[in-house]
């Protein structure tokens, strides 16, 4: 079902003119398509029942579904790729790839007169748009043509050209690989580690050298993305802004590199930067653009909603934050998220539950998927378990909120939890590059070991706030869902409730 939905999403952006011919209106195959897309049939059991009044194992249903998948696959394959602008590089790239495929078929038959004209055009286009892979392929085909013609001088020249272009191609491939490796390591974790910083710094330095030899806008784009990640890890917000701004200028200088995905990335980077630097109104402006450009069916909206949820909490708009969370977890695509992503959303639900509990908003609490249940603490610990492996990332948030849940649910071993926080602090957090979080975590552990004694919290408040003044960091930490100054006031209120 998910594959049908994904094909449908792609086709919805640029529906082929022969769509109704391939999937005729009122046909069974069209009915299955409409049932899946409209979410009226969430699985094979429901779809087979509605169409054939049979089980999902019915051969007629299985053949119908297989036929639909094949037809949708063909439609996607034949669909012309379209971006916002006709001069977008992906649109052009697909076109020249098709032309090279035609050349390949002609050369296999030793036909090389017309292929020469096609390759010349492809080569010029590839050079103009920095399609290094296409440039290499075109040069190799010219080498084959001149070999077939028996022109040794030209064959040797293009052999040398292939070697030079292959070096540039390796730069591009390596740069892309560097970015993708870093992205994979940070996709499901908010951890800021020395390992990631060292790796990103090494990659940045390597690409900087390559750009002096081959200044491709695509390689430069990876260079800026790696540096945005690097300086975000280092909490150096001015440098983050510098590389986001340079990325914008790169698009201005080379408009063909612009894509919807890149525009989404830039607006997300800006929104996150403004959030981190307490410029919440500007963050919201960029976030609004992100929400317009993203879609749950493309799975990019989940990341945007993470930031949206965080910003709403910073604005003390807890009802809106709860609504965002409920929308996310009830979206059909949520079930297909990685387990790490689901676990992170469970932790966010715990934070919004804590805030709603402090406001005595039982009506909204009852609407939460986990904390609206009587056995919510047990379910929470079970569903958030995946995050325990992220020692420098989401597990920090998990430990913070878990000890407060123990207090709310009147567990007896809070002081032991406090001691565990102190041990965790000494083992993992003392060198963490998130000083505000380290300070909060340390003082939270000490207060928890005293069972959140009201008087102790009042006394420790001054020590904690003085430590934040010493740190003098004007930005939010990545773990700081609730601003820590506000958080400590809530701890006092929580203790006062039980006092």
Which residues, other chains included, contact 496 with Cβ-Cβ below 8 Å and sequence gap of 6+?
454
What is the three-state SS of the chain?
Answer: CHHHHHHHHHHHCCCCCCHHHHCCCCCHHHHHHHHHHCCCCCCHHHHHHHHHCCCCCCHHHHHHHHHHHHHHHHHHHHCCCCCCCCCCHHHHHHHHHHHHHHHHHHHCCCCCHHHHHHHHHHHHHHHHCCCHHHHHHHHHHHHHHHHHHCCHHHHHHHHHHHHHHHHHHHHHHHHHHHHHHHHHHHCCCCCCCHHHHHHHHHHHHHHHHHHHHCCCHHHHHHHHHHHHHHHHHCCCHHHHHHHHHHHHHHHHHCHHHCCHHHHHHHHHHHHHHHHHCCCHHHHHHHHHHHHHHCCHHHCCHHHHHHHHHHHHHHCCCHHHHHHHHHHHHCCHHHHHCCHHHHHHHHHHHHHHHHHHHHCCCHHHHCCCCCCCCCCHHHHHHHHCHHHHHCCCCHHHHHHHHHHHHHHHCCCCCHHHHHHHHHHHHHHHHCCCCCHHHHHHHHHHHHHHCCCCCHHHHHHHHHHHHHHHHHHCCCCCCCCCCCCHHHHHHHHHHHHHHHC
pLDDT of residue 80: 60
pLDDT at position 79 over 60: yes
Residue written as tokens 């102790």? 456
pLDDT of residue 89: 78
pLDDT at position 81 over 70: no
The model's pTM is 0.84
Residues of the chain with pLDDT > 90, as a percent, come to 68
pLDDT at position 332 over 70: yes
pLDDT of residue 85: 45
CB count within 10 Å of CB 153 equals 8
Report the distance separating Cα 408 and Cα 397, nearest Å. Answer: 17
Higher pLDDT, 78 or 62: 62
pLDDT at position 197 over 50: yes
Mean pLDDT of the chain, nearest integer: 91
Residues 108-130: pLDDT tens digits? 776 666 678 888 999 999 999 99
pLDDT at position 498 over 60: no
Structure tokens given for 50: 């509605």
pLDDT of residue 246: 98
Region 444-467 average pLDDT: 95
Region 160-186 average pLDDT: 97
Q: Is 137 left (phi over 0), alpha (psi -120 to 50) or beta?
A: alpha
Residues 253-310: pLDDT tens digits? 999 999 999 999 999 999 999 999 999 999 999 999 999 999 998 899 999 999 999 9
- Please report which confidence band the pLDDT of residue 83 belongs to, taking 50, 70 and 90 as the band edges: very low
pLDDT at position 330 over 90: yes
pLDDT at position 471 over 60: yes
pLDDT of residue 163: 97
pLDDT at position 96 over 60: yes
pLDDT of residue 433: 85
Dihedral, CA of residue 395, residue 396, residue 397 and residue 400, to nearest 10:
120
Report the distance separating Cα 408 and Cα 402, nearest Å. Answer: 10
Higher pLDDT, 80 or 182: 182
Q: Which of 1-15, 185-199, 201-215, 310-324 shows the lowest per-residue confidence on average (mean pLDDT)? A: 1-15
């Amino acid at each position: 079902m998910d594959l049908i939905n994904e094909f449908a999403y792609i086709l919805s952006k640029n529906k082929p003119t022969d769509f109704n011919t391939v999937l005729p209106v009122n046909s069974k195959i069209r009915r299955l398509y409409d049932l899946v897309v409209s979410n009226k049939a969430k699985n094979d059991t429901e779809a087979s029942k509605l169409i054939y009044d049979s089980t999902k194992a019915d051969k007629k249903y299985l053949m119908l579904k297989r036929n639909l998948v094949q037809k949708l696959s063909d439609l996607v394959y034949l669909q012309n790729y379209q971006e916002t602008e006709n001069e977008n590089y992906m649109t052009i790239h697909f076109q020249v790839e098709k032309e090279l495929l035609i050349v390949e078929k002609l050369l296999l038959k030793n036909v090389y007169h017309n292929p020469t004209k096609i390759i010349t055009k492809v080569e010029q286009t590839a050079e103009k748009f920095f399609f290094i892979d296409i440039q290499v392929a075109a040069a190799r085909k010219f080498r084959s043509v001149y070999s077939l013609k028996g022109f040794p001088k030209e064959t040797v020249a293009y052999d040398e050209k292939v070697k030079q272009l292959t070096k540039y191609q390796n730069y591009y491939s390596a740069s892309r690989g560097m970015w993708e490796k870093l992205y994979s390591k940070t996709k499901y974790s908010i951890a800021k580690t020395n390992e990631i910083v060292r790796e990103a710094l090494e990659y940045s330095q390597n690409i900087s050298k390559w750009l002096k030899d081959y200044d491709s806008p695509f390689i430069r784009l990876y260079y800026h993305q790696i540096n945005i990640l690097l300086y975000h890890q280092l909490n150096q917000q001015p440098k983050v802004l510098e590389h986001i701004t340079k990325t914008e200028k790169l698009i201005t200088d080379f408009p063909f590199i612009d894509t919807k995905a890149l525009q989404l990335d830039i607006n997300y980077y800006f929104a996150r930067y403004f959030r981190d630097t307490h410029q919440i109104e500007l963050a919201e402006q960029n976030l609004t653009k992100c929400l317009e450009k993203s879609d749950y069916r493309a799975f990019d909206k989940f990341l945007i909603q993470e930031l949206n949820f965080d910003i709403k909490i910073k604005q003390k708009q807890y009802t809106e934050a709860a609504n965002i969370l409920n929308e996310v977890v009830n979206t059909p695509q949520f079930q297909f998220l990685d387990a790490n992503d689901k676990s992170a959303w469970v932790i966010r639900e715990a934070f919004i539950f804590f805030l709603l509990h402090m406001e005595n908003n039982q009506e909204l609490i009852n609407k939460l998927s986990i904390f609206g249940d009587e056995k919510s603490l047990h379910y929470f610990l079970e569903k958030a378990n995946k995050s325990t492996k992220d020692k420098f990332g989401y597990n920090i948030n998990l430990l913070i909120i878990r000890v407060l849940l123990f207090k709310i649910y009147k567990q007896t071993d809070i002081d032991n939890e406090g001691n565990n926080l102190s041990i965790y602090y000494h083992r993992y957090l003392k060198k963490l590059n998130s000083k505000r979080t380290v300070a909060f975590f340390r003082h939270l552990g000490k207060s928890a070991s005293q069972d959140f004694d009201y008087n102790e919290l009042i006394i420790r408040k001054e020590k904690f706030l003085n430590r934040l003044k010493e740190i003098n960091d004007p930005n939010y930490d990545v773990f700081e869902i609730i601003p820590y100054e506000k958080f400590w006031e809530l701890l006092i209120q929580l203790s006062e409730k039980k006092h």
